[in-house]
Amino acid sequence: MISFATDTLPIRNPRTGEFDYHIKPPSQNDVEYICYQLRKEQVAWGQMNINHRVEVLQAWKKAVNNQKEALIEALCKDTGRQWESLLEADIVASSIDRWCGIAQNFFTPATLRQSSIPFLSIQQDLVSYPLVGVISPWNFPLLLSLIDTIPALLAGCSVIVKPSEVTPRFIKVINETIAKVPALANVFIYIEGAGETGAEIIKHADLVCFTGSTATGRKVYQAACDRFIPVFLELGGKDAALVFEGADLDKAASALLWGSTANAGQSCLSIERIYVQASVFEAFVEKLAAKASEVRLAYPSVDSGKIGPIISDKQVSIINDHLRDAVEKGARILTGSSQCELHGGGYYCRPTVLVNVNHTMKVMNEETFGPIMPVMAFEDKEEALRLANGTFYGLSGAVFAATYDEALEVAQQMTAGAVSINDAALTAVMHEGEKNSFKMSGIGGTRMGLSAIKRFMRQKAYIIKTNENPDPWWF
């Protein structure tokens, strides 16, 4: 077999613009060998009692906590931001606890039961997919590398994770924590690499989970299809918020500012379009622009403000393109950046409120992934829903109205997997709701709740002839 990428890849620092790190993707042979080993070790891992797997993950939780400072430092360098890096490192422990709880309640020993046919009994079994491949994005490098991984490990799978090459500095630290727990190290590894390493994983995995752009997600679906394996894709969004007359405009403005600009808008569940009922449009926009103009950049120091750098330089071009396109087509910037601003080598975009926008603009149709808030007026509920649903994405959304009932009735007609009511982007904090991605925002089962664990196992049935059948079937 031919090796393809023994060369190192230089990695850009989002705060300085300097290429101050490098990764060395494994060769094709390396990936194949790692997958072979993981698959071999999975046999024992998959047969292990759930309490044992829980113990192993709890040991890993301690190892992660022991290395938390190093992890946060790496994540800060990877992403150029602080608050979200602290959050990401904190969430590992609570995620492990949550998934362990769900898994322990789920796995019970299979028993033989009488079926409705007198001479047949039945027993159910669960068989883990041996090797799960996880390909994760740069916007929450640690968090999104674990969202499928922890339930897959608890389901008894081996897992190989390939995070984005844009944010690879945390990989060494996380692999060190895994190495601290030998039983886990047998079945779990992170590897460095770019797209071609991800493609290599798909060649060996039995199931693939991908979080990232819709464009790349379609390629992953294609590669999984070629190998005839199942795939779970969580892709882009163009989440709409609807603000109706009667809603608390001040609270709506605060919530939408958070929902649109947290992590500098670099979240799939960011609010990317705001539609406001015409009668309250001016009042809302005034509040939003005032609040937005007060938000500071996290520059010169990482704790100077809330808005960190745009992590990926490719994303900078997209944001700039969307802003340019909108202004050329008549949009007006009330506050914010007309283009990403270069400070100390990093690109930053201020919370930016746009009005005079319409659906001919990229900023209303394509995922921007920046802290941009285009605001557009609607007359009535029908128009609001037509605008909100007029996208090929369907990840989530938000509705603000005078009463929960009024908001809920609108939410039920939105073609998206989750809708926040009288707040924005609540899927960022809520892990209990099971939800699917609609339209081009994803494919496959929910990543929350028990269903998320079940995805990683196949059901198997034993059908047992327990009594004498009066006659052979028909011979």
Least distance from C-beta 131 to a copy of itself, angstroms?
14
Alpha helix segments (H runs only) across 294-391:
313-328, 381-389
Helix H or strand E encompassing 54: helix 50-66
Least distance from C-beta 46 to a copy of itself, angstroms?
12
Cβ-based nearer residue to a copy of itself, 342 or 402: 402
Q: CA–CA separation, 196 vs 175, rounded Å?
A: 21
- How many residues bind a copy of itself (CB under 8 A)? The answer is 69
Say whether residue 63 binds a copy of itself (CB under 8 A).
no
Least distance from C-beta 15 to a copy of itself, angstroms?
20
Of 222, 293, 317, 403, the residue at the interface with a copy of itself (CB under 8 A) is 222
Residue 135: beta bridge partners? Answer: 162, 210
Least distance from C-beta 222 to a copy of itself, angstroms?
6
Q: Got the DSSP string for 162-221? A: EE-TTS-THHHHHHHHHHTSHHHHTTEEE----HHHHHHHHHH-SEEEEES-HHHHHHHH
Q: Do 44 and 183 meet the contact criterion of CB atoms below 8 Å apart?
A: no
Q: Radius of gyration of the chain from Cα atoms?
A: 24
- Strands (DSSP E) found in 315-412: 332-335, 341-343, 346-348, 352-355, 372-378, 393-394, 396-400
Helix H or strand E encompassing 99: helix 83-106
Contact stretch for a copy of itself (CB under 8 A) within 8-16, 181-189, 314-322, 432-440: 432-440
Other CB atoms closer than 10 Å to residue 312's CB: what's the count? Answer: 20
Residues 348-407 that bind a copy of itself (CB under 8 A): 404, 407
Residues 303-332 that bind a copy of itself (CB under 8 A): 306
Tokens of residue 382, six digits: 């029908």
Is 200 in the active site? no
Cβ-based nearer residue to a copy of itself, 328 or 473: 473
Cβ-based nearer residue to a copy of itself, 19 or 404: 404
Is 76 in the active site? no
Residues 412-431 that bind a copy of itself (CB under 8 A): 412, 416-423, 426-427, 429-430
Least distance from C-beta 79 to a copy of itself, angstroms?
16
Say whether residue 473 binds a copy of itself (CB under 8 A).
yes
Least distance from C-beta 108 to a copy of itself, angstroms?
15
Burial (CB < 10 A; 0-12, 13-18, 19+), residue 4, is middle
Residues 434-463 that bind a copy of itself (CB under 8 A): 434-436, 438, 440, 443-444, 446, 451, 458-463
Contact residues for a copy of itself (CB under 8 A)? 83, 115-117, 120, 122-125, 127, 218, 221-222, 225, 228-230, 251, 254-255, 257-258, 262, 291, 294-295, 306, 404, 407-408, 411-412, 416-423, 426-427, 429-430, 432-436, 438, 440, 443-444, 446, 451, 458-466, 469, 472-475
Q: Show which residues are catalytic.
A: 234, 268
